[in-house]
Amino acid sequence: MSVARAVEKCGAAPTIVTDPAALAQAGHLILPGVGAFRDGMAGLACHGLDEAVRDFAASGRPLLGICLGMQMLAEESVEFGRHPGLGLVPGRVVPIAAAGPNGVGHKIPFIGWAEIAPQRADGFAGTPLAGLQPHDAVYLLHSYHFEPERPEDRLATYDYDGVTVTAAVARDNILGCQFHPEKSGPTGLRIVAEFLAS
């Protein structure tokens, strides 16, 4: 299910925008993405959407980054060199460790379902993830993950053979999900619906 279809299923009418003026009129912004960080940032910049996304975030309206869209919220990525991001959540995008603490290698990219755990004392309270139940799982496909500079910006993680991997970040009006809500069944749709209601 695409992001747009997930939004429709939650009762909203999505608009796909490619120019800054249209983005400025949005009430909510979902920044999806797949592929390499450098290419994603270049795609935003060539349409002038990088500054438009920064302006949107500064307005206080709800912004959700998904997968590469979450990673682009960071200050930089080290994927295929060092590349600047949107700088909306301090931190950097780094490779998932290629092996667990026992030294045994594991498959990269991580592909599949994982249970995510809250990293704040109040759990997921006050975020679109608030409706998640213990053992709810989400779908991920990635080789890199976001390491926030501030521990309080890390909203959720999952465990990959003893390696802690960031699953979600949150700061003020900004939420980033490394996982794909649109591919995570009813759990993901609840997150999208909560985001749209925020």
Which residues participate in catalysis according to the annotation? 67, 180, 182
Tokens of 129: 């993830």
Query: C-alpha angle with apex 194: 189 to 196, nearest 5 degrees?
Result: 95
What letter would DSSP give residue 19?
A: S
Q: Which two tokens stand for residue 181?
A: 């809500």
The answer to whether residues 79 and 142 touch, using CB atoms and an 8 Å cutoff, is: no
| Burial class of residue 158 (count of CB atoms within 10 Å of its CB; 0-12, 13-18, 19+) | buried
Both tokens of 46, joined, read: 């060539």
Work out the angle at residue 92's Cα, subtended by the Cα atoms of residues 82 and 178, and round it to the nearest 5 degrees: 115
**Is the Cβ–Cβ distance between 150 and 164 less than 8 Å?**
no
Find out whether 68 and 35 touch, Cβ atoms under 8 Å: yes
